Amino acid sequence: MRTHFRSLALLAAMLVLAAGCAPDFEQMAADSATESDDGAGAEAIEYADAGFDADRSPPDDWEPRDPRLDPAPEGDLHEIEIRASHVENNVAPGVDQELWTYDDVVPGPTLRGKVGDTFRVTLINDGDMGHSIDFHSSKVAPDVEMRTIEAGEELVYEFEAKHAGIFMYHCGTDPVLQHTGMGQHGAMIIDPPDLDPVDHEFWLVQHEYYFGPLGQAREKMENEAWDAVVFNGYPFQYVHAPIEGVEPGERVRMWVMNNGPSENSSFHVIGTIFDTVYKEGSYRLHPDRDAPGGAQLLDLLPSGGGFVEFTFDTDGVYPFVTHKFANLPKGAVGLFTVGDADPADAGK
């Protein structure tokens, strides 16, 4: 179910968080009971005014990106086609932006496999300039598989996944900052051997947006002046469409990848504690070894990734954030609705 939250209520709640207090979800829910009538679905604002207008809802035809993660596919050979493209998409309420993408989406498709699997990726360049792809999960010659191909060309990038973790992939064509900042990035998950079973798996890619025409956006990238910090491509995405279907006591694994290109991530779920933390290829915390130890965050530099596991003790509305609070009003917050909880009932 899609829920519309008035952004002023969101910002107020985020300021409360920044002050170290609990968010007033009752007020948020009350303000979100009716959809904003101040321009939802209206035409995108001009680039010159492309500050993120948080008092607007997503367009009527907006659909959230599904954060649920399927198991690794069967077999040990994965043949994949990825198309580099240039598109104009709605990237925030009131903002359409030119993007350089893989398969027309930002982030690109999330891929998954197991240690020892072979990936045979055909990259096709549908854009109007040179593009490439760099899988951090691969050990290959950069001047061969990662080489730039011109518009209309294609290449085959084949490698064996030899190490476990969640890895970034991105365009490696110069200037890499601009190609990545314009949207050419994604995540590949290579399961650790004997990965424990869980009830739910989700994926999140944190990344930044830099609004404006190409020259202006690139200047912002070079000055680390991002306009939005988001999970899976849209600010406040999982506040507008909370993650549902988790019951108290069920075990959740959340894979998190920070694709930057420049900002750090301090991933945190309010109201629970991580009993498992896997970061950059190894367990930093595991209940079989470290109980009753717990962790409050997964800290990730740009191109860093891992997963956390946790449970919720009771029904409720649980926010997840980057704990760098300056980025909350820029979009880096979402919600779990657990059990019978509904955002409209929170706080009652």
Burial call 171-203: b when 16+ CB within 10 Å, e when fewer:
bbbeeeebbbbbbbbbbbbbbbeeeeebebbbb
Contacts of 186 (CB under 8 A, 6+ apart): 102, 107, 108, 109, 110, 111, 168, 169, 170, 205, 259
Q: How many residues does this entry show for the chain?
A: 348
If you average pLDDT over residues 118-122, what whole number do you get? 98
Q: Are strands 276-279 and 282-285 parallel, antiparallel or unpaired?
A: antiparallel
pLDDT in tens, 42-84: 343 344 344 567 778 899 999 999 999 999 999 999 999 999 9
Considering the chain, what is the average pLDDT of its residues?
Answer: 87
The C-alpha atoms of residue 151 and residue 143 are separated, in whole angstroms, by 18
pLDDT in tens, 170-184: 999 999 999 999 999
Residue 9 clears pLDDT 60, i.e. is over it: no
Which 8-state DSSP code applies to residue 107? Answer: S
pTM here is: 0.87
Burial call 101-140: b when 16+ CB within 10 Å, e when fewer:
bbeebbbbebbbbbeebebebebbbbbeebbbbbbbbbee
In this structure, of 46-50, 164-168, 265-269, the range with the lowest mean pLDDT score is 46-50
What domains are defined for the chain?
7-63+198-345 (2.60.40.420), 77-191 (2.60.40.420)
Distances from the Cα of 56 to the Cαs of 33, 52, 223, 261, 309, in angstroms? 14, 9, 27, 26, 34
The C-alpha atoms of residue 48 and residue 42 are separated, in whole angstroms, by 17
Which two structure tokens, joined as six digits, stand for 191? 């399961």
If you average pLDDT over residues 284-293, what whole number do you get? 94
224 or 346: which leads in pLDDT: 224
If you average pLDDT over residues 266-283, what whole number do you get? 98
What is the secondary structure of 234-278 as a DSSP string? BTTHHHHS-EEEE-TT--EEEEEEEEESS--EEEEETT--BSEEE
Please say whether the beta carbons of 175 and 132 come within 8 A: no
Please say whether the beta carbons of 334 and 322 come within 8 A: no
The β-bridge partners of 52 are none
Query: What is the pLDDT confidence band of residue 16, given thresholds at 50, 70 and 90?
Result: very low
